[in-house]
Amino acid sequence: MVSPIDQETMNRHEVDPAMDALLCVDTTRGNRILNRRGLAITPTVKEGYILRVSEDLLDVLEAVTGRPPAVLAITHQDITPYANGLFHLNSILQPSTATPAPAVGVALTAEAVATTFGAGECRFYDQAEFARLVARYGSLAHLQTPGREPEEGG
Protein backbone atom coordinates (compact mmCIF):
# COMPACT_ATOMS: atom_id res chain seq x y z
CA MET A 1 0.00 0.00 0.00
CA VAL A 2 1.35 3.41 -0.95
CA SER A 3 0.30 6.64 0.72
CA PRO A 4 -1.44 9.21 -1.51
CA ILE A 5 0.54 11.92 0.32
CA ASP A 6 4.34 12.11 0.32
CA GLN A 7 6.13 11.83 3.67
CA GLU A 8 7.48 15.40 3.60
CA THR A 9 3.91 16.73 3.37
CA MET A 10 2.81 14.36 6.15
CA ASN A 11 5.65 15.56 8.37
CA ARG A 12 4.59 19.20 7.89
CA HIS A 13 1.13 18.28 9.22
CA GLU A 14 2.21 15.82 11.94
CA VAL A 15 5.31 17.46 13.41
CA ASP A 16 5.03 20.72 15.29
CA PRO A 17 8.34 22.50 16.04
CA ALA A 18 7.03 23.15 19.58
CA MET A 19 6.96 19.41 20.37
CA ASP A 20 9.41 18.36 23.07
CA ALA A 21 9.20 14.70 22.04
CA LEU A 22 7.26 12.50 19.62
CA LEU A 23 5.46 9.21 20.04
CA CYS A 24 5.15 7.98 16.45
CA VAL A 25 2.10 5.73 16.43
CA ASP A 26 1.85 3.35 13.50
CA THR A 27 1.06 -0.21 12.55
CA THR A 28 4.08 -2.10 11.30
CA ARG A 29 5.37 -4.82 9.03
CA GLY A 30 7.74 -5.50 11.89
CA ASN A 31 6.13 -8.84 12.72
CA ARG A 32 8.94 -10.47 10.76
CA ILE A 33 11.41 -8.76 13.09
CA LEU A 34 9.34 -9.08 16.28
CA ASN A 35 6.81 -11.88 16.01
CA ARG A 36 4.62 -11.05 19.00
CA ARG A 37 1.12 -9.68 19.48
CA GLY A 38 0.66 -6.52 21.49
CA LEU A 39 2.72 -3.39 21.79
CA ALA A 40 6.34 -2.63 21.08
CA ILE A 41 8.49 0.49 21.16
CA THR A 42 11.55 1.39 19.13
CA PRO A 43 14.80 2.76 20.41
CA THR A 44 14.75 6.54 20.69
CA VAL A 45 15.80 8.43 17.56
CA LYS A 46 17.30 11.91 17.84
CA GLU A 47 18.93 13.96 15.09
CA GLY A 48 20.11 10.97 13.07
CA TYR A 49 21.20 8.86 16.04
CA ILE A 50 19.51 5.64 17.10
CA LEU A 51 19.90 5.81 20.87
CA ARG A 52 19.38 3.10 23.45
CA VAL A 53 15.85 2.18 24.42
CA SER A 54 14.48 4.45 27.15
CA GLU A 55 14.32 2.66 30.52
CA ASP A 56 11.47 4.97 31.53
CA LEU A 57 9.44 4.04 28.45
CA LEU A 58 10.13 0.33 29.04
CA ASP A 59 8.71 0.79 32.55
CA VAL A 60 5.61 2.53 31.19
CA LEU A 61 5.08 -0.15 28.53
CA GLU A 62 5.39 -2.89 31.13
CA ALA A 63 2.96 -1.13 33.47
CA VAL A 64 0.41 -0.51 30.68
CA THR A 65 0.49 -4.04 29.22
CA GLY A 66 1.27 -6.10 32.32
CA ARG A 67 3.83 -7.99 30.20
CA PRO A 68 7.57 -7.72 29.69
CA PRO A 69 8.22 -4.85 27.25
CA ALA A 70 8.93 -5.59 23.61
CA VAL A 71 11.35 -3.59 21.45
CA LEU A 72 11.12 -3.33 17.67
CA ALA A 73 14.56 -3.31 16.07
CA ILE A 74 15.29 -0.53 13.58
CA THR A 75 18.18 0.34 11.29
CA HIS A 76 19.63 3.62 10.10
CA GLN A 77 17.73 3.28 6.83
CA ASP A 78 14.46 3.34 8.83
CA ILE A 79 15.24 6.84 10.11
CA THR A 80 16.12 8.34 6.75
CA PRO A 81 13.49 9.97 4.51
CA TYR A 82 11.48 7.70 2.22
CA ALA A 83 12.50 9.92 -0.71
CA ASN A 84 15.99 8.39 -0.77
CA GLY A 85 14.72 5.09 -2.21
CA LEU A 86 16.36 2.90 0.47
CA PHE A 87 14.58 0.00 2.19
CA HIS A 88 12.51 1.06 5.20
CA LEU A 89 10.85 -1.44 7.55
CA ASN A 90 7.92 0.98 7.64
CA SER A 91 7.13 4.66 8.15
CA ILE A 92 6.88 4.59 11.94
CA LEU A 93 9.87 6.91 12.47
CA GLN A 94 9.52 9.17 9.44
CA PRO A 95 8.50 12.09 11.69
CA SER A 96 11.99 11.90 13.26
CA THR A 97 13.41 13.24 9.97
CA ALA A 98 11.58 16.53 10.49
CA THR A 99 12.56 17.46 14.06
CA PRO A 100 15.45 17.62 16.49
CA ALA A 101 13.09 16.34 19.23
CA PRO A 102 13.55 12.75 20.43
CA ALA A 103 11.15 10.33 18.73
CA VAL A 104 10.02 6.82 19.71
CA GLY A 105 7.90 4.53 17.57
CA VAL A 106 4.97 2.78 19.26
CA ALA A 107 2.21 0.54 17.97
CA LEU A 108 -0.27 1.97 20.50
CA THR A 109 0.06 4.34 23.40
CA ALA A 110 -1.86 5.26 26.53
CA GLU A 111 -2.46 8.47 28.40
CA ALA A 112 0.02 7.30 31.06
CA VAL A 113 2.97 8.01 28.72
CA ALA A 114 1.92 11.57 27.96
CA THR A 115 1.11 12.22 31.62
CA THR A 116 4.45 10.98 32.97
CA PHE A 117 6.44 12.73 30.22
CA GLY A 118 4.64 16.03 30.82
CA ALA A 119 5.29 15.75 34.54
CA GLY A 120 9.01 15.30 33.89
CA GLU A 121 8.90 11.70 35.19
CA CYS A 122 9.60 9.93 31.91
CA ARG A 123 12.71 10.60 29.85
CA PHE A 124 12.81 9.62 26.19
CA TYR A 125 16.60 9.71 26.17
CA ASP A 126 19.61 10.51 28.37
CA GLN A 127 20.54 14.11 27.54
CA ALA A 128 24.09 13.84 28.89
CA GLU A 129 24.78 10.67 26.92
CA PHE A 130 23.43 12.28 23.72
CA ALA A 131 25.68 15.29 24.28
CA ARG A 132 28.68 12.93 24.68
CA LEU A 133 27.77 11.14 21.42
CA VAL A 134 27.56 14.40 19.48
CA ALA A 135 30.76 15.70 21.07
CA ARG A 136 32.63 12.53 20.10
CA TYR A 137 31.12 11.77 16.66
CA GLY A 138 29.53 15.01 15.52
CA SER A 139 26.04 15.65 14.27
CA LEU A 140 24.19 13.00 12.28
CA ALA A 141 21.37 15.39 11.43
CA HIS A 142 22.37 15.05 7.77
CA LEU A 143 20.68 11.61 7.96
CA GLN A 144 17.40 13.49 8.39
CA THR A 145 17.68 14.70 4.77
CA PRO A 146 17.28 12.77 1.50
CA GLY A 147 21.08 12.92 1.12
CA ARG A 148 23.21 13.64 -1.93
CA GLU A 149 22.73 11.98 -5.28
CA PRO A 150 25.66 9.68 -6.12
CA GLU A 151 28.11 11.17 -8.62
CA GLU A 152 28.25 9.69 -12.13
CA GLY A 153 30.82 6.89 -12.39
CA GLY A 154 31.31 6.80 -8.62
- pLDDT, tens only, 35-80: 777 788 999 999 999 999 999 999 999 998 899 998 988 988 889 8
Question: What contacts 41, CB < 8 A, 6 or more positions away?
Answer: 53, 54, 57, 58, 61, 69, 70, 71, 72, 104, 105, 106
H helix or E strand, kind and range, residue 50: strand 49-50
DSSP 22: E
Evaluate whether residue 23 is within a structural domain: yes
Cα 60 to Cα 16, 56, 96: the distances in Å are 24, 6, 21
The pLDDT value recorded for residue 109 is: 37
Which residues does residue 71 pair with via DSSP β-bridges, in sequence order?
A: 41
Q: Please say if the pLDDT value at position 86 is more than 90.
A: no
CA–CA dist 48, 27 (Å, integer): 22
Is 58 or 112 the better-scoring residue by pLDDT? 58
Reported as a pLDDT band with limits 50, 70 and 90, residue 26 is confident
Please report the pLDDT score of residue 10 as a whole number.
74
154 inside domain: no
Question: Is residue 149 included in any domain, yes or no?
Answer: no
pLDDT at 147 over 90: no
Global pTM exceeds 0.85: no
Q: How many domains does the chain have?
A: 1
First to last CA, the chain: 33
Other CB atoms within a 10 A radius of the CB of residue 117 amount to 18
Across the range 9-23, mean pLDDT stands at 84
Give the residue numbers spanning the domain of 18: 7-144
Task: Give which of 16, 112, 14 is closest to 59, Cα–Cα.
Answer: 112
